[in-house]
Chains A and B, each alone.
Chain A
Amino acid sequence: MMNYRTIKAAIEAILLAAQGSNFVTIGNQRNRDRADDAIDNNRTVQVYYRSGNFPKKHGTMSGSSSHEMSFRLEFTAAKRTEADLSILDDPGSTNLQRATAIADAKPAGTAADESMDELFDLVYQVVMAANNYDMGLAIGTVTDRWIDNFEKGDTVPQGDIVVLSGQAILTCTTEEVVTGESPDTRTPVDFDSSIENTRDNIDDPVDNTGVFNSN
């Protein structure tokens, strides 16, 4: 199996180990789900191999090649509007208390935005931690690990839930060894014509080395 597949699995394993109750890790591209599947701390991180480059100048015709990989980390957060219902639903509350509770209410879009900021913070700290430089693999398997950028999308209202997505690109480099097809082991042929073919015992492989000369 090529290294990029092993590294992708390692990134997923690192995130799974760190997610706790803060987010959910998904190790593949997934079609869009229900908005409430990513609500609150069920916000998701999808990690998958996005693309790779094999620079010709860093490779050999036979043997290893440098593989510059890009992994996409896709984030999804969803939130509902939050307010102090203990005040708003209290028939004994005053106008001032209700006005304060309404003013302090956090629209779903704002809550989703804050949730996404927190999610990226958590994931970045895990992926870029010094002890995760090799993604838990043998030293030297992964080099030049770097998160190039993070981009947040637009909020999308889905009923009373607002969904927000974002993505980050994680790049790193590894050496891929090309094994090709399974080699077929053959006994090398000895074309040494100076070795006399005695033909005393034509079935004896020692007496029948070399090329038979009919002259």
Chain B
Amino acid sequence: MGTLREQIESALSETLEGPYGLPCPITYTDGAIQTKNASDATLDLMAQVIYETPEVNLDTGDTKLIPQTIITYRRTSLDKIPAPGDKIKISIPDRPTESADYITVMATPDNEPRHGRSIGIISFYVQNVVQSV
């Protein structure tokens, strides 16, 4: 077992990519699609998907659920780390089961990725996409 940091980072393989993870292929700004784990090409690229997010109303103190989907990857599983402001496409199941249909969501400059400087995760606050006219 390596350093404490390495141990913590490797634990992400269980928390993000283990039983709670879902296959989430990512398409980068150059059009390249990543479907496999960069650390282990035998594994699918997995992520934690949270479909709704609690938000506190600062004026009233009420908490409400908003349909804000958050997709969290392990950084070492990605081929490249998108920069803030990059537009990327992610395919996610529309329900938290692997047999569900896949939908397209995008990370845009409206909501930049977060936790990029944490020990090993990066979260994308994505938006559903409609067909452009």
Interfacial residues, chain A to chain B (CB-CB below 8 A): 80-86, 88-89, 94-100, 102-109, 155, 157-162
Write out the residue numbers on chain B whose beta carbons fall within 8 Å of the beta carbon of A89.
104
Q: Indicate if B76 sits at the interface (CB-CB under 8 A).
A: no
Contact A99 to B129, CB < 8 A, known contacts A88-B89, A89-B104, A105-B108 = no
Return the contact of B68 from the options A102, A104, A159 (Cβ within 8 A): A159
Contact A160 to B128, CB < 8 A, known contacts A81-B108, A105-B108 = yes
A160 pairs with B108, CB closer than 8 A: no
B129 nearest CB across to chain A (Å): 5
B79 nearest CB across to chain A (Å): 13
Write out the residue numbers on chain B whose beta carbons fall within 8 Å of the beta carbon of A102.
27, 29, 31, 87-89, 106
Which range contains the number of B residues in contact with the other chain?
20 to 34
CA distance A103 to B66 in the complex (A): 27
CA distance A157 to B53 in the complex (A): 13
Write out the residue numbers on chain B whose beta carbons fall within 8 Å of the beta carbon of A94.
31
CA distance A162 to B128 in the complex (A): 11
Q: Indicate if B33 sits at the interface (CB-CB under 8 A).
A: yes
A95 pairs with B31, CB closer than 8 A: yes
Contact A81 to B30, CB < 8 A, known contacts A107-B87, A160-B68 = no
Write out the residue numbers on chain A whose beta carbons fall within 8 Å of the beta carbon of B110.
81, 107-109, 155, 157, 162
Return the contact of B130 from the options A82, A99, A104, A157 (Cβ within 8 A): A82
CA distance A161 to B109 in the complex (A): 13
A160 pairs with B131, CB closer than 8 A: no
